[in-house]
Amino acid sequence: MAKENILVVEDEEAIQELVRYNLSREGFSVQEAASGEEALERVHKQAPALILLDLMLPELDGLEVCKRLKSDERTQHIPIIMLTAKSEDADVVTGLELGADDYITKPFSPRVLVARVRALLRRNKREESDKEETIQIQNLLIHPGRHEVLVDGEVIPLTHTEFQVLHLLARRPGWVFTRYQIVDAVHGDDYAVTERSVDVQIVSLRKKLGDAGKKIATVRGVGYKLEE
């Protein structure tokens, strides 16, 4: 079986060596990049299974790299774990809104790092299998593979997180999801994202979808559902 390839984007040699050693020991193939520009070149030459991306990079920083990769149809499917030495929540939230899938704050445990990588790879494989099926609920059409939502044939621009929330609800119309379940499914575990942020995403979705947004129903005291 071919080894899954992980791209480590980190300019500190000591951290780069630590990550490479632990991932290689667990059976992964590891590529490295010390700058944002080099990372983009490597990704476009050979797409990795996952990217470990330091936010504090020289010149082209990690947030800009994340933004470029997640806005490109050719690379937006690649899961990204942010590595950050910062304590500010703003950078983490910005990264997640740009489409990053997880984050780890330095210093970190190598065992936790490997566990996060494995968990995200498993989740990404499940999501990729879900993307094969187009979902249509009356005049609402969702193309998971294209990351595209249409209402009455008109494309509705959604953020990465808004799309994930809508796709989750649409996969099981009529099923009630709690705010915690939505956060867990969309962002995974251990994120600096509150259940209150789900309400913000729902309000934005309803506004962007227009009349179709009325299908997203609030179940008081529980959460939300997409009506059939």
CATH of the domain at 158: 1.10.10.10
Same structural domain, 165 and 121: no
Last residue of a domain, one of 100, 129, 158: 129
Same structural domain, 154 and 124: no
Percentage of residues in the chain having pLDDT higher than 90? 53
Range of the domain at 27: 5-129
Residue 37's pLDDT is: 95
Residue 2's pLDDT is: 57
Average pLDDT over residues 47-76: 91
Same structural domain, 209 and 194: yes
Last residue of a domain, one of 103, 129, 155: 129
Domain count, the chain: 2
Q: Is the Cβ–Cβ distance between 196 and 143 less than 8 Å?
A: no
Same structural domain, 123 and 181: no
Same structural domain, 100 and 161: no
Residue 225 in this model has a pLDDT that exceeds 80: yes
pLDDT band at 191 (very low <50, low <70, confident <90, very high): very low
* Model confidence pLDDT, tens digit, residues 138-186: 999 998 877 889 999 999 999 888 898 999 999 889 999 998 888 877 7
Same structural domain, 109 and 161: no
221: left (phi over 0), alpha (psi -120 to 50) or beta: left
Residue 86's pLDDT is: 65
CATH number at residue 62: 3.40.50.2300
Same structural domain, 49 and 116: yes
Average pLDDT over residues 51-70: 92
Average pLDDT over residues 66-74: 88
Residue 187 in this model has a pLDDT that exceeds 90: no
Counting Cα atoms < 13 Å in the Cβ hemisphere of 85 gives: 7
Same structural domain, 71 and 22: yes
Residue 130's pLDDT is: 56
Cα distances from 58 to residues 12, 19, 159, in angstroms, run 11, 19, 27
* Model confidence pLDDT, tens digit, residues 31-50: 999 999 999 999 999 899 99
Last residue of a domain, one of 98, 129, 160: 129
Helix and strand counts by DSSP (H, E) for the chain: 8, 12
Same structural domain, 124 and 153: no
Same structural domain, 124 and 188: no
Residue 100 in this model has a pLDDT that exceeds 50: yes
Same structural domain, 122 and 196: no
pLDDT band at 190 (very low <50, low <70, confident <90, very high): very low
Highest mean pLDDT among 60-64, 88-92, 141-145: 60-64
Residue 164's pLDDT is: 87
Q: Which residue has the higher pLDDT, 213 or 84?
A: 213
Range of weakest confidence among 40-44, 97-101, 108-112? 97-101
Counting Cα atoms < 13 Å in the Cβ hemisphere of 202 gives: 22
Same structural domain, 121 and 135: no
